[in-house]
Chains A and B, each alone.
Chain A
């Protein structure tokens, strides 16, 4: 009977996206704690609104990100799973567990919204399942996040340069910004560096994210294709990798990057940025700016957010976005309610209200939302929002490659590119050799995952 109602609800998704159950059921939900209290409030509101609208009950817990991560993995391993897990950044858990057939297929929830979702959101929500030998939707996407440049505009001015002069091509941007170092040092800022380049192997993601964008900018975005295949044998990819590693290690060797960057952990680059230890960095989401929202001068005037514009060959650059949302572990007792809740959540207006609560740190997975509510998203008085939204929503984007195959996540976890940078910088390896070493290990990892 329930599956019948779900089917009905699916077809009437836009007009009546939820089922009013005769018997109210309770679903256990694990939600991740946000970055600011307003995010949590917005989350609670969605849950409460859903409960009112549907009559179902959500037994939700909002927990810190680390806790939720470890709890979810424990649950998936031991079999005592909640009904719904909602994460901002599930790419560490989803690919492997979808592969191992531990998640519930949510195509029936996502398909009605398919045409409205950004392509990257769709691709980020599709995973390969080894048991069914096919790809399907395992994540209900709600939010996306991108990586912009964060620049201290006041320091750029102090160096005698103008933000409006920032070039459009990727490498040129870095080359432009690195020129701020000499004049600033001459003016007495003894310890300042120009660039917070995260050439590190510590910390889960910064180094990998940075490298991926360099790769894209140099034309190597085909390193992993949506079918999960690795293309390290593609000369274009290899050349892009070599150029990227070379550029980054040269920046380090030129002394425009704090030497500590080789062992930065996740928070070190942020701390350095706040301390004005360096002028600019490339880091995920708007958390850098939003953390200083109370400092009016900094937030409204000094900090500048820039979206990458062009690859090195002049063509528009697609940046990578990660996607967050809800997924349902297999063995959940109340799959129907969980799905129903996600269906409710994915409605554009609900999605919008929720993400606005987070002050725009995450953008909607449905691009139209941003255009419909332009007052908030496009005409905000928060100067950081428009460039971010432009990058993450209005411009075409690429999904993170974790969705294509779990092997990419494993390769990232081994910090192969950070290792390559370290090899060149510390061990004096030639760039081509370092790249080949990283490729070799990546190929080994990919060889373990056989599709079909």
Chain B
């Protein structure tokens, strides 16, 4: 029997509960060890060449305590912190939840699902700069498309969205979700596809309804992936300045600034890059627990299935 045939045979027997045994249970020996090291080398090389020094340098850049005094004295800083918490909290969690639901939606076998998926990933594929600028113009109070639609369809004069703090923040978050939702949906979709069909079929035979199958198979299987994605996306969202910069520009009156845009302003508008790094690093107390949590999640990777 060839390896592939054996694999299929083994895959068939998957639904039966079995104690998980590791492929190289008794440890890697000899030649295998060499292979293992060889496989690990490429990433290790990248890490030592391109991560160690830059991260160390970056941490050094933000390490001067005087920078933080200056940072806290800036009246925009506190607003930026609150906005960042909202931006990350809502932007990430709402998006991941939607991604989870939509991944289920896209699992359905419809002839138009595939086509829809291609349309769906358009926001992700479009370059950020023009896309966000387009949203900024879309929301313009005077000649933006949204208000034009409202006027044409309903005859109402829409408000000036970006003149209000909450609408501006909402616009930024929505724009960010719009742009990145497809990405996470695809990841979760891939995750859903890894859940073996046998489990669903076995459950159906056992008489479980759709909702129970969902709660007892889908959710546990995807839980870890969902968590990892959420944590990673929080890290990404913390560093995202494009959405805020181009959609609301931090306005009105700098009330929608986030730490990333504040940092970029410090770094490139007043040539104080160290202060810029300090701005994002002031989020480290939030970031470090996330990273540690991620590390633990990844470490606990034995016997998940």
Contact = CB atoms under 8 A, between A and B. Distances in A.
Interface of A: 69-70, 73-74, 76-77, 92-93, 96-97, 191, 200-204, 258-260, 262-263, 265, 268, 271-272, 275, 277, 406, 409-410, 413-415, 418-419, 422-423, 426, 441, 444, 448
A418 to B, nearest CB: 6
B256 to A, nearest CB: 9
Interface string B196-212: 00000000000000000
B62 interface: no
30 contacts: A73-B268, A74-B273, A77-B273, A77-B274, A93-B271, A201-B252, A202-B251, A203-B249, A258-B141, A258-B142, A259-B141, A260-B140, A262-B163, A262-B251, A262-B252, A263-B168, A263-B248, A263-B252, A271-B137, A272-B142, A410-B272, A413-B266, A413-B270, A414-B76, A414-B254, A415-B253, A415-B254, A426-B163, A426-B253, A448-B70
B39 interface: no
A116 to B, nearest CB: 30
Interface in B156-211: 160, 162-163, 168
Contacts of B74: 414
B143 interface: yes
B142 A260 contact: yes
Given A260-B142, A260-B163, A426 B273 contact: no
Contacts of B274: 77
B56 to A, nearest CB: 13
Interface in B57-109: 61, 70, 73-76
B267 interface: yes
B213 interface: no
B270 A410 contact: yes
Contacts of A93: 271
Nearest to B264: A70
Contacts of B268: 69-70, 73, 92
A401 to B, nearest CB: 14
B258 to A, nearest CB: 14
A252 B268 CA distance: 31
Nearest to B159: A259
B250 interface: yes
Contacts, number: 97
A96 B271 contact: yes
Contacts of B250: 201-202
Nearest to A191: B142
Nearest to B250: A202
Nearest to A76: B271
Interface residues of B, number: 33
Contacts of A406: 270
A419 B254 contact: yes
Interface in B214-268: 248-254, 265-268
Nearest to A402: B270
B271 A201 contact: no
B253 A260 contact: no
Contacts of A272: 142-143
A262 B272 CA distance: 27
B283 to A, nearest CB: 20
B270 A263 contact: no
A69 B75 CA distance: 26
A422 B273 contact: no
Contact of B269 (A92, A97, A201, A441): A92
Contacts of B137: 271
B143 A275 contact: yes
A397 to B, nearest CB: 24
Given A260-B141, A263-B168, A97 B271 contact: yes
A345 to B, nearest CB: 24
B132 to A, nearest CB: 11
Contacts of B252: 200-202, 262-263, 422, 426
Nearest 5 CB-CB pairs, A to B? A202-B249, A422-B253, A263-B251, A263-B162, A202-B251
A92 B271 contact: yes
Contacts of B269: 92, 204, 413
A67 B12 CA distance: 56
A76 B274 CA distance: 12
Contacts of B168: 263
A418 B253 CA distance: 7
B270 A96 contact: yes
A368 B14 CA distance: 88
Contacts of A418: 253
Contacts of A419: 253-254
A8 B192 CA distance: 77
Given A96-B270, A200-B251, A413-B270, 12 more contacts: A77-B61, A92-B268, A97-B271, A202-B250, A259-B142, A262-B160, A263-B248, A277-B142, A410-B272, A413-B269, A426-B163, A426-B253
A448 B270 CA distance: 15
B249 A277 contact: no
A444 B162 contact: no
Nearest to B274: A77
B162 A260 contact: yes
Contact of B253 (A77, A97, A201, A203): A201
A413 B268 CA distance: 10
Nearest to A265: B249
A93 B273 CA distance: 11
Nearest to B273: A77
Contacts of B248: 202, 263
Contact of A73 (B254, B265, B273): B273
Contacts of A97: 271
Given A191-B142, A201-B251, A201-B252, A259 B70 contact: no
Contacts of A268: 140
Contacts of B76: 414
Contacts of B61: 77
B148 to A, nearest CB: 11
Contacts of B73: 444
Contact of A260 (B160, B267, B270, B273): B160
